[in-house]
């Protein structure tokens, strides 16, 4: 199966078509696109804000490095390795994690994010992403012919750990240390329930691992669609019926893309404790 043409769930299409596509996705890749999601304007504004932060001098960004295990705050280039099977691998990216609890304590955020207009943008983005996840959970419950609230009731808005976003910046290759152990994001599966991935400027690099062929396949970067994937929680809950698939972000072979940054935003939806 080609992952460059993931199944597409058009939210304006017939509900039966949506459920059928979800069923196909669950049993194969666990990855799909969502179109007509209504977040186009919001995601564009979020990317503009993210760029403004990542283009700050490093010493300013380091003021917001998290000193706890809460996964909040700034992560500098080379400090994260998502591939648990290769301890020598280094992720050539920087990131900023914003958890739902930050919405109640914006004093812990950089000025760019805590500025009133931008903070409202973040709140709105959080809420609409959450609502989209709940919408998909309802369709998923209908697909498996169980109570419609079965999954939504396990992902309450006000319950920890809740939801979070990760702003991601993959710098041009010439701006990171050059060695064979650098990758943009190491191979991993997501530990939560559902991930929404927003991509920007059609910058590619995401690859998904196919268990059947034992091969990696590229996923086309689409500005107009969200890439959605199920996490380990759903594979566990469904006893393997719903797939949580390993994925990574590789360094580009295209010289033009090597000289440009890649930006993405991941929204993570986790079940309540």
CATH of the domain at 225: 2.60.120.330
Are the C-beta atoms of residues 209 and 30 closer than 8 Å to each other?
no
Are the C-beta atoms of residues 109 and 74 closer than 8 Å to each other?
no
Share of the chain above pLDDT 70, in %: 94
Per-range mean pLDDT, top range of 16-25, 172-181, 197-206: 16-25
| 74 three-class SS | strand
Q: What is the mean pLDDT of the segment spanning 155-177?
A: 86
Alpha carbons 235 and 250: distance in angstroms, whole number: 25
Burial 238-268 (b: 16+ CB within 10 A, else e): beeebbbbbbbbeebeeeebeeebbbbbbbb
Question: Positive or negative CA dihedral for 222, 250, 265, 85?
Answer: positive
Q: Residue 3 above 70 pLDDT? A: no
Share of the chain above pLDDT 90, in %: 66
Long-range contacts of 235-241 (CB under 8 A, 24+ apart): 235/30, 238/26, 241/26, 241/27
Tokens, residue 17: 């078509």
DSSP letter at 87?
Answer: T
Are the C-beta atoms of residues 44 and 87 closer than 8 Å to each other?
no
Q: How far is CA 232 from CA 201, 214, 253, 269, in A?
A: 29, 19, 30, 12
Domain that holds residue 262: 3-269
**Given this model, what pLDDT does residue 248 score?**
94
**Given this model, what pLDDT does residue 67 score?**
66
**Given this model, what pLDDT does residue 1 score?**
43
**Given this model, what pLDDT does residue 176 score?**
67
For the chain, how big is the Rg over CA atoms in Å?
18
To which residue do tokens 């169980």 refer? Answer: 146
Are the C-beta atoms of residues 96 and 187 closer than 8 Å to each other?
no
- Of residues 205, 208, 180, 209, the one with CA closest to residue 89: 180
**Any idea which of 7-11, 173-177, 214-218 has the lowest mean pLDDT?**
173-177
Alpha carbons 196 and 133: distance in angstroms, whole number: 8
The residues near 225 (Cβ < 8 Å, ≥ 6 apart) are: 8, 33, 34, 35, 37
Q: How confident is the model at residue 104 (pLDDT cuts 50, 70, 90)?
A: confident
Q: At what angle do helices 116-143 and 40-54 cross, to 10 degrees?
A: 130
Q: How many domains does the chain have?
A: 1
């Amino acid at each position: 199966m080609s992952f460059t043409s993931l199944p597409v769930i058009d939210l304006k299409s017939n509900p039966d078509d949506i459920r059928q596509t979800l069923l196909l996705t669950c049993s194969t890749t666990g990855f799909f696109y969502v179109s007509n999601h209504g977040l186009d304007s919001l995601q564009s504004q979020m990317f503009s804000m993210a760029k403004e932060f990542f283009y700050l001098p490093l010493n300013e960004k380091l003021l917001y490095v998290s000193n706890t295990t809460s996964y909040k705050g700034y992560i500098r280039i080379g400090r994260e390795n998502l591939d648990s099977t290769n301890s020598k691998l280094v992720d050539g990216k920087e990131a900023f994690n914003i958890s739902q609890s930050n919405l109640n304590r914006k004093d812990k955020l950089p000025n760019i994010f805590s500025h009133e207009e931008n903070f409202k943008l973040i709140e709105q983005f959080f809420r609409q992403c959450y609502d989209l996840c709940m919408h998909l959970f309802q369709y998923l419950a209908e697909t498996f012919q169980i109570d419609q609230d079965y999954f939504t009731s396990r992902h309450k808005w006000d319950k920890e750990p809740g939801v979070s976003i990760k702003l991601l910046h993959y710098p041009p290759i010439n701006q990171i240390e050059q060695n064979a152990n650098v990758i943009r994001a190491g191979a991993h599966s997501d530990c939560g329930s559902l991930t929404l991935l927003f991509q920007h400027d059609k910058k590619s690099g995401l690859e998904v691992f196919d268990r059947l062929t034992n091969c990696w396949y590229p996923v086309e970067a689409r500005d107009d669609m969200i890439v959605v994937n199920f996490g380990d929680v759903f594979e566990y809950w469904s006893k393997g019926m719903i797939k949580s698939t390993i994925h990574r972000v590789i360094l580009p072979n295209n010289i033009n893309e090597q000289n440009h940054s890649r930006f993405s935003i991941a929204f993570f939806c986790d079940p309540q404790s």
